[in-house]
């Protein structure tokens, strides 16, 4: 007897890096960033319907490997992601990721995908979503401190969603700034490479920090942050890794994703537990104010939360349906009679 | 400019269901079960060198989706697994799984694989490993209560590792028993289909219970368990799901994998916290006795632990090296310059 070919149930759609890039170009990166921003906002609006847990981290000397699961009761999502700042030195990505969606009712996976690119997109879209509520009205200039893999995505999301027209770049490595400047040519953004962080923040209404060192660093000091600015702090995202001087936090109104995780990983790990924070979903649902006045300093202390990945995965699943942008992986053993796993194995002998 | 093809770093070896079945047949199922048993024993021997955490469960009305990560400091392993007893009714597997290995130093995945079959194999191998230390000497007959997807694997592992010659089958559904009997024809085992659990345990030195209902069930009552028997309880593996009457546990010496997880999921969830248990790794390393005398009742309260999957994944990775039993997935974005993720995306536009 010969084995039957695997049935549709056994097949899990897989989106490769190559297909993810095709999708971005087919949709258009700014459109995709806008659509992701809307999708993330939608899921923040129903924040309370999600199962939430701080991500499960496995720390080592060189970095961290994390699992980020969540579920809305119908669909389960999970991302595998690492953070290894030293990887750059050996020609590897600091952050790589892949993700999956599964049906809660059956437990069967329904999507597997590269998520290095998708994480870059959703991180930028999350920043833009927060800026909708927190950035000063009419903001046109952003500073981008840290010009690594996330920089261009951040700039384009702020352009597509907020209407940013000018980006001022700074990185301790001028080659990174030059790379970002070159990549943003033709984007419609006016790009200025700056020699210091101080120069970069001049005139910026939005200051994004996204640096990668695994340490308590001070990328911005208090005197560099003027009244009315929105701070979008991305790089402080694991224990012992922050970017802002705590004096800045004392002057700012701080907004976070999921407090139990942000207290562990975010800028606020520097603060006492009575430091006031606002959950961003409460702003999105109108239960708490976002920016109240033009002189206020707002801080989005972003560490990245599972629901944002969930939004991105759901979006991807819908976007690839009916396209040629995935392949089917024979990943789930699917015997004709479910209890007959062994029989399936036996029949495959020929 | 055209995009370069993805480099080797971007490629993650993937073992499909089809290739896993090929591997089992190429190695031979009994050899593979023996090798897995040895590999699991090896990792139990260095139990203390692993990062351990109870699996991360997402429960729903119909079942559970779990993540089972662990690391030995060099390699990180994680399994995704579901448990949905009702799936059988709709022609789906109760348990499906896939797994991954990653390098701790870089965070890069190095293996992705189907794990429904591999879990069935490692679960049986773990039972056999425990039986090495706990089953009465010279055991030749086992009872197999619950004749679902795990049954044949259990029987063959006990044959290959312990030397079992006869299997006595019972299931509430006679069709399941008939399926198992048929599948074990030609295995060299003498197989008896029994009409009751009571009949099945007659003369058995090893009693394995592996039923799937998500409830407190009593598959075995106290009077059915004679002196000297080894109980291998597999099916009590999530909160609210047990198989044995607590009176049996009061007479038995109970051995477990990882207590913080077994207290949540195992048979011992029925017991008070002062109920004595022994960690199996301490038996394997000689720090605690296994079976002490021929009249003792031993119970392996098995729920399945991440280290067993880790052992199986490591074994698989070595076994497929240099073979045609995997395909490379373009899963990791790998720009020529690691900070230039956006540039890679841009260059893929053509």
As a CATH number, domain A8-117+307-340 is: 3.30.1780.10
pLDDT for position A336 = 84
- B-contacting residues in A 143-162 (Cβ below 8 Å): 147-153
ipTM of the complex: 0.92
Q: Which residue of B has its CA nearest to A59?
A: B104
Instruction: Report the C-alpha gap between A245 and B103 in whole angstroms.
Output: 34
Q: pLDDT of A65-89, one tens digit each? A: 999 999 999 999 999 999 898 888 8
pLDDT range class, residue A7, cuts 50, 70, 90: low
- The DSSP H or E segment spanning B104 is none
Q: Average pLDDT of A154-177? A: 97
Q: Average pLDDT of A11-32? A: 97
Q: Average pLDDT of A3-12? A: 69
pLDDT for position B55 = 85
Residues of A labelled catalytic:
237
Residue B160 pLDDT exceeds 80: yes
Q: Which residue of B has its CA nearest to A86?
A: B106
Q: Which of A84, A104, A183 lies closest to B107 in CB terms?
A: A84
**Alpha-carbon distances of B44 from B129, B206, B221, B307, rounded to whole Å:** 10, 22, 31, 8
Residue A151 pLDDT exceeds 60: yes
Q: Cβ of A341 and B17 within 8 Å?
A: no
As a CATH number, domain B8-117+307-341 is: 3.30.1780.10
CB–CB of B331/B12 below 8 Å?
Answer: yes
Question: Among residues A155, A286, A176, which one has the least CA distance to residue A232?
Answer: A155
Which residues of B are less than 8 Å from A100 in CB distance? Answer: 80
Residue A259 pLDDT exceeds 90: yes
pLDDT for position B237 = 66
CB–CB of B158/B128 below 8 Å?
Answer: yes
Q: How far is B247 from chain A (nearest CA, A)?
A: 30
Strand order in the sheet with A11-15: A56-59, A64-71, A75-83, A97-103, A109-114, A11-15, A327-330
Q: How far is B336 from chain A (nearest CA, A)?
A: 7
Which residues of B are less than 8 Å from A14 in CB distance? Answer: 329
CB–CB of B345/B4 below 8 Å?
Answer: no
Residue ranges with strand state E in chain B = 11-15, 56-59, 64-71, 75-83, 97-103, 109-114, 141-145, 166-170, 190-193, 206-209, 216-220, 230-233, 242-244, 253-256, 277-279, 298-301, 327-330
Best residue in B338, B340, B348 to probe A by mutation, most A CBs within 10 Å? B338
Helix axes A29-45 and A306-320, enclosed angle (nearest 10): 130
Question: Among residues A116, A105, A314, A136, which one has the least CA distance to residue A227?
Answer: A136
- What is the residue-averaged pLDDT of chain A? 93
Which residues of B are less than 8 Å from A85 in CB distance? Answer: none
Q: Average pLDDT of B84-102? A: 89
More confident residue, B237 or A49: A49
Q: Cβ of B71 and A53 within 8 Å?
A: no
Main-chain phi, psi angles of A100, to 5 degrees = -145, 155
Which residues of A are less than 8 Å from B24 in CB distance? Answer: 345
Q: How far is B127 from chain A (nearest CA, A)?
A: 17
Q: Average pLDDT of A211-237? A: 85
Q: Which two tokens stand for residue A175?
A: 């080659």
CB–CB of A117/B345 below 8 Å?
Answer: yes
Q: Where are the domains of chain A?
A: 8-117+307-340, 122-305
Does the CB of A347 have a partner CB in chain B at under 8 Å? Answer: no
Q: Average pLDDT of A215-244? A: 86
Q: pLDDT of B29-40, one tens digit each? A: 999 999 999 999
CB–CB of A33/A156 below 8 Å?
Answer: yes
Instruction: Report the C-alpha gap between A50 and A71 in whole angstroms.
Output: 6
Q: pLDDT of A93-147, one tens digit each? A: 888 899 999 999 999 999 999 999 999 999 999 999 999 999 999 999 999 999 9
Q: Average pLDDT of B214-227? A: 84
Instruction: Report the C-alpha gap between A270 and A216 in whole angstroms.
Output: 9
CB contact burial A35-57 (16+ within 10 A = b; e otherwise):
bbbebbbebbeebeebbbbbbbb
- Region of A102 please: left (phi>0), alpha (psi -120 to 50) or beta: beta
Q: Cβ of A83 and B18 within 8 Å?
A: no
From the number of C-beta atoms within 10 Å of its C-beta (0-12, 13-18, 19+), residue A90 rates as: exposed
Residues of B labelled catalytic:
237
Does the CB of B261 have a partner CB in chain A at under 8 Å? Answer: no
Topology, domain B124-304: Rossmann fold (3.40.50)
CB–CB of A239/A216 below 8 Å?
Answer: no
Question: Among residues A85, A103, A76, which one has the least CA distance to residue A9?
Answer: A103
Largest CA distance in chain A: 77
Q: Which two tokens stand for residue A348?
A: 């495959």
- A-contacting residues in B 31-50 (Cβ below 8 Å): none
- The DSSP H or E segment spanning A111 is strand A109-114
- A-contacting residues in B 266-325 (Cβ below 8 Å): none
Instruction: Report the C-alpha gap between B111 and A306 in whole angstroms.
Output: 23
Q: Which residue of B has its CA nearest to A8?
A: B92
**End-to-end Cα, chain B, rounded Å:** 7
**End-to-end Cα, chain A, rounded Å:** 7
pLDDT for position A30 = 98
Topology, domain A122-305: Rossmann fold (3.40.50)
Residue A1 pLDDT exceeds 60: no
pLDDT for position A86 = 87
Does the CB of A176 have a partner CB in chain B at under 8 Å? Answer: yes
Q: Are strands A230-233 and A298-301 parallel, antiparallel or unpaired?
A: parallel
Instruction: Report the C-alpha gap between B45 and B184 in whole angstroms.
Output: 32
Q: Average pLDDT of B44-56? A: 93
Which alpha helices (DSSP H) does B186-272 contain, by range?
197-200, 246-251, 259-265
Q: pLDDT of B254-308, one tens digit each? A: 999 999 999 998 999 999 999 999 999 999 999 999 999 999 999 999 999 999 9
Does the CB of B187 have a partner CB in chain A at under 8 Å? Answer: no
Q: pLDDT of A302-315, one tens digit each? A: 999 999 999 999 99
Which residues of B are less than 8 Å from A330 in CB distance? Answer: 16-18, 114
């Amino acid at each position: 007897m010969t084995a039957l070919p695997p049935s549709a149930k056994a097949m899990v759609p897989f989106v490769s890096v190559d297909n993810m890039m095709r999708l971005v170009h087919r949709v258009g990166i700014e459109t995709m960033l806008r659509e992701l921003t809307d999708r993330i906002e939608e899921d923040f609006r129903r924040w309370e319907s999600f199962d939430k847990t701080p991500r499960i981290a496995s720390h080592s000397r060189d970095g961290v490997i994390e699992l980020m699961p969540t579920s809305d009761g119908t669909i389960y999502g999970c991302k595998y992601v690492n953070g290894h700042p030293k990887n750059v030195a050996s020609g590897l990505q600091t952050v790589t990721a892949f993700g999956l969606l599964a049906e809660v009712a059956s437990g069967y996976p329904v999507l597997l995908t590269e998520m290095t690119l998708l994480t870059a997109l959703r991180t930028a879209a999350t920043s833009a979503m927060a800026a909708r509520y927190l950035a000063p009205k009419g903001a046109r200039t952003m500073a981008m401190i840290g010009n690594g893999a996330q920089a261009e995505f951040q700039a384009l999301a702020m352009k597509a969603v907020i209407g940013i027209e000018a980006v001022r770049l700074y990185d301790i490595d001028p080659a990174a700034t030059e790379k970002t400047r070159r990549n943003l040519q033709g984007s419609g953004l006016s790009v200025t490479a700056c020699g210091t962080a101080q120069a970069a923040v001049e005139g910026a209404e939005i200051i994004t920090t996204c640096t990668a060192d695994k340490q308590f660093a001070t990328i911005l000091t208090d005197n560099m942050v003027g009244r009315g600015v929105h701070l979008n702090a991305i790089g402080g995202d694991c224990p012992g890794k922050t970017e802002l001087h705590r004096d800045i936090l004392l002057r700012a109104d701080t907004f976070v994703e999921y407090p139990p995780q942000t207290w562990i990983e975010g800028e606020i790990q520097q603060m006492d537990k009575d430091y006031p924070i606002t959950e961003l979903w409460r702003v999105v649902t109108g239960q708490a104010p976002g920016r109240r006045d033009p002189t206020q300093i707002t801080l989005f202390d972003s560490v990245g939360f599972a629901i944002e990945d969930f939004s991105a995965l759901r979006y991807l699943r819908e976007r690839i349906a009916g396209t040629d942008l995935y392949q089917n992986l024979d990943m789930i053993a699917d015997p004709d009679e479910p209890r007959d796993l062994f029989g399936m194995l036996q029949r495959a002998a020929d």
